[in-house]
């Protein structure tokens, strides 16, 4: 019986998160209440509070569905023992773009973060968590690039800090533009070229190299 109860609790939590993805995406974060999510999930508000402390906790748990697999992939790429850090970096970049194109839930979550959040209060837990993940992502990119430099895959005088800023801006900017106007270009078709252009920039751009 206990095992069944645990499985039911996990199923309820998953159903709440599925509903949160749709409701946050449709209504926007500020206009969404826990009652809205409960109604969409077909559960009581008590069930929501059983699994999540508040709206911020629910929102962050929803974002983890996208963040965790991407963080795991980039963390594995950022291992000092990696034989091909640049190749792993390329795979991570492609994964980030292609998930946005091919996974509807991922696409909705990213669109919600980029376009349907009002980041106005620096003390808001949602704001703080998103900023924390943003900065940690940049640190991970810097680490991968340093390992690629050590392996001779990138110029030895590459500026990893500036390069990480450019990589992060390029990928998030491409996703932002595509999600804002999906019909303006075919991201699925262009993803590989965009990532290879990014690597070409890291390999050849003099402005990314320390004097």
Q: What is the pLDDT of residue 133?
A: 87
How many whole angstroms separate alpha carbon 141 and alpha carbon 145? Answer: 6
Q: Model pTM?
A: 0.85
Mean pLDDT for the stretch of residues 114-128: 86
Residue spans of the domains in the chain: they are: 1-52, 57-208
* Coil, helix or strand at residue 79: coil
What pLDDT band is residue 65 in, cutting at 50, 70 and 90?
Answer: confident
How far is 4 from 211, CA to CA, in rounded Å?
A: 63
Band (97; pLDDT cuts 50, 70, 90): very high
CATH (residue range 57-208): 1.10.357.10
Lowest mean per-residue pLDDT among 37-51, 59-73, 105-119: 59-73
| Alpha carbon distance, N-terminus to C-terminus of the chain | 67
The pLDDT, as a whole number, for residue 82 is 74
- pLDDT, the chain, mean: 90
Strand, coil or helix: 59:
helix
CATH level 3 topology of 1-52: Arc Repressor Mutant, subunit A (1.10.10)
Each residue's pLDDT tens digit, 15-33: 999 999 999 999 999 999 9
Residue 42 pLDDT = 94
Whether the predicted pLDDT of 79 surpasses 70:
no
Same fold yes or no, 1-52 and 57-208: no
pLDDT band at residue 1 using 50, 70 and 90 as cut-offs: very low
Q: Which pLDDT band, with edges at 50, 70 and 90, does 124 fall under?
A: confident
Question: pLDDT value at position 194?
Answer: 97
Distance CA 74, CA 76 (A): 5
CA 98-119-113 angle, to 5 degrees, is 15
The mean pLDDT of 163-171, rounded to a whole number, is: 95
Average pLDDT score over residue span 9-18: 92
- What is the tens place of the pLDDT at every residue in 134-165? 898 899 899 999 999 999 999 999 999 999 99
152: region left, alpha or beta (phi > 0 left; psi from -120 to 50 alpha): left
Q: What is the pLDDT of residues 179-203, one digit of tens each?
A: 999 999 999 999 999 999 999 999 9
Residue recorded with tokens 């983890």: 64
CA distances (Å), origin 116, targets 76, 78, 94, 166, 169:
31, 31, 24, 24, 19
């Amino acid at each position: 019986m206990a095992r069944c109860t645990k499985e039911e609790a996990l199923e309820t939590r998953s159903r709440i998160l599925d509903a949160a993805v749709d409701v946050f995406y449709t209504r926007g974060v500020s206009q969404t209440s826990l009652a809205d999510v409960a109604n969409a999930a077909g559960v009581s508000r008590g069930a929501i509070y059983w699994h999540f402390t508040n709206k911020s906790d629910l929102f962050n748990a929803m974002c983890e569905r996208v963040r965790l697999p991407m963080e795991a992939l980039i963390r594995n790429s950022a291992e000092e023992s990696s034989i091909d850090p640049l190749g792993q970096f390329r795979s991570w970049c492609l994964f980030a773009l292609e998930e946005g194109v091919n996974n509807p839930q991922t696409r909705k979550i990213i669109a919600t973060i980029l376009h349907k959040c009002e980041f106005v209060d620096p003390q808001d837990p949602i704001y703080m968590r998103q900023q924390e993940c943003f900065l940690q992502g940049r640190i991970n990119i810097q680490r991968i690039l340093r390992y690629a430099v050590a392996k001779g895959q990138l110029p030895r005088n590459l500026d990893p800090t500036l390069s990480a800023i450019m990589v992060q801006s390029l990928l998030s900017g491409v996703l932002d533009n595509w999600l804002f106007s999906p019909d303006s270009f075919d991201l699925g078709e262009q993803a590989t070229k965009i990532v290879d252009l990014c690597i070409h920039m890291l390999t050849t751009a003099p402005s990314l190299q320390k004097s």
